[in-house]
Structure 1
Amino acid sequence: MDRATVGSANRGRLQVEVRTEGSSEIVKPAGELDHHTAELLRAPLGEALEQGRVRLVIDCSQLEFCDSTGLNVLLGARLKAEAAGGGVHLAGMLPVVARVFEITGAEAVFTVHDSVEAALSD
């Protein structure tokens, strides 16, 4: 897939769109991120990192559910991005997903923004 264009993958409950903007890879999961759909997010995050895009912005504005498997995908991407000198920025989290990050303490290890625009300008 040409990474300069928007790509998507869909396994019913999760759709993931990817686009590059400047030095950032913007990944937008929509739907439910869980054990059954996690690979749909893991794959494009891994591809971005392999291609040297280490600033990942996750647009969570349409992510309706995230379980521990989904959280682990994001934590793994964060570790790899930081090891390469970048980071993972979460943007536009819905309250139900933000609560998972709050309960687990994961919000402390991510940079969280109100919107993708705010994440891109940071």
Structure 2
Amino acid sequence: MTGQPAGEGVPGARFTVRERAADGAVVLALAGELDHDTADPLREALADGLGVGADRILVDCAELRFCDSTGLNVLLRGRLAAQDSGIRLELAALQPPVARMFHITGADGVFRVHADLAEALADRRQT
């Protein structure tokens, strides 16, 4: 885990991922628009998060304004890879446009979704 925000500092970057460790979890804070053209930094951050020995990856969506089907697929594949490694991938702070897409597709039933990052960090349930 680099701690460096992926995509930040790139002129015109529409999407960034900030990685950090918190309470035994890897936190990936997403900001901007997650779509076909911007998904690579999230793919890389999820792969990095699987290798640091944490038992959870928390994806903080508080600043994520948009997510298309590509972004959803990256998160779903990340969840499966995490599950295969014995790690839980959970979401926090879905904003209305993103929450709507997760609800319409049924993905909100696949992920554990927390109201915000503080709630996610406080939730120590194993399932």
TM-score, normalization: structure 1? 0.92
SS class of match (2:58): strand
Match of 2:5 in 1: 8
Count of residue pairs brought into register by the alignment: 119
Runs (5+) with no aligned partner, structure 1: none
Identity across the alignment (%): 46
Shift of 1:52: 3.0
Q: Which whole-Å CA distance do the structure 2 matches of 1:64 and 1:54 have between them?
A: 27
- Paired position in structure 2 for 1:46: 47
Q: Aligned-pair RMSD on alpha carbons?
A: 1.3
Deviation at 1:54, TM superposition (A): 4.2
Structure 1 counterpart of 2:79: 78
Amino acid at match of 2:52: Q
| Cα drift, residue 119 of structure 1 | 0.5
Asked if 1 retains the 8 angstrom alpha-carbon contact of 2:58 and 2:92, the reply is yes
Q: Give, in angstroms, the shift of residue 53 of structure 1.
A: 3.0
The aligned amino acid for 1:81 is A
For residues 111 and 62 of structure 2, what CA distance do their matches in structure 1 show? 16
2:98 — aligned with what?
Answer: 97
CA distance in 2, matches of 1:86, 1:9: 22
Structure 2 residue 83 is matched with structure 1 residue 117? no
State the SS of the aligned residue for 1:112.
strand
What TM-score does the superposition give when structure 2 sets the normalisation length? 0.88
